Amino acid sequence: MSLTAAVLGAGYFAGFHHEAWDRMEGVTLIGVANRTVDKARATGFPAFASLEALFDAVGVPDIVDVATAPRTHVAAVQTALAAGCRMIICQKPFCDDIDQARQLTEDAAAVGAHLVIHENFRWQPWYRALKAAMDRGDIGTFHQGNFRMRPGDGQGPGAYLDRQPYFQTMPKFLVHETAVHWVDTFRWLFGPVHAVYADLRQMNPAIAGEDAGYILFDHGQGVRSVFDGNRLLDHKTEHHRLTMGEALIEGTGGTLRLKGDGSVWLRKFKSMEETAVLAPYTGGRFGGDCVFRLCEHVARFLRGEGVLENTARDYLKVLEMEEAIYKSSETGCRQEVTP
């Protein structure tokens, strides 16, 4: 089954989307739309100044992939829905606030369209390997997990300007833009969350939002996970943005460790030896090629393969947790959330 796709956006990260669709077997990228049409032309694909212009010229594709800034998401998804597209992928952060996200989710459901959030970290190969190892019982009964985010890209007045300069002006940054990746991934790896406690702080005065903090997730039945993020500090690796940090997942039968090179290691309980679960990633693509993996998952679903992950309706839980995290940090109190 041959499919068509179109991408809205021609910025830094949208380039990963263009490349993914272009090399995907059985999918044709029929156009790129961007308000600055010269940037769309620079991609080498058919270029348009808007989604409307793209639809008028080449028709409505099977997949519309929105890869622009959050403030544009509502209008873009509504445009795709009105044109009759029934598979829409929307980059995160999903909308400006949870009320917008809820309404957009209902708008898509009302016309029978699939709305998928491009939350790609759970598609990174090391998290797939960690999940498979846990499901096999490699570490026995899971007790706790943590991730130390240390990309080392947030120091000084020039922080983020080379890739995504709008990071500097976001009033909510570490959680809304970045830690939300692990909010979603922790739910997927460790199970539903019952409560959160957060302590967030701003370290770099050149930016508007928070860039460091701790988040404690209560998964019930004594299970806990911790996100420990600081964008100013680094970790021991050659490529700091590959995994953006290191993880440790512990159970009654052993421990899984994610290193900064993308490798995963298993140490059995009371053992001094570690065995490799996943070799270091050497593919050279962002996040272990997670953009391609998510897009391919959507294409496979349209061909009748598998159950769709990352749906907007499920992602509303992530946004509810995000709100609770900020409220916890503001009040200094633990916040209950609906699993």
Question: Tokens at residue 293, please?
Answer: 């993996």
> Rounded to whole angstroms, how far apart are CA atoms 243 and 118?
17
CB atoms within 10 A of CB 305: 9
List pLDDT tens digits, range 279-289. Answer: 999 999 999 99
> Rounded to whole angstroms, how far apart are CA atoms 290 and 121?
7
pLDDT > 90? residue 43: yes
> Rounded to whole angstroms, how far apart are CA atoms 151 and 242?
9
Name beta bridge partners: 225.
145, 217
> Rounded to whole angstroms, how far apart are CA atoms 244 and 178?
10
List pLDDT tens digits, range 159-181. Answer: 999 988 989 999 999 999 999 99
**245-247-253 Cα angle (round to 5):** 165
Q: Which band of pLDDT confidence, cut at 50, 70 and 90, is reported for residue 300?
A: very high
Q: What is the pLDDT of residue 70?
A: 83
DSSP state of 165: G
From first CA to last CA, the distance across the chain in angstroms is 37
Q: What is the pLDDT of residue 281?
A: 98
- Burial letters 42-53, b for 16+ CB under 10 A, else e: ebebbbbebbee
Contacts of 20 by beta carbon, 8 Å cutoff, 6+ apart: 291, 292, 295, 296
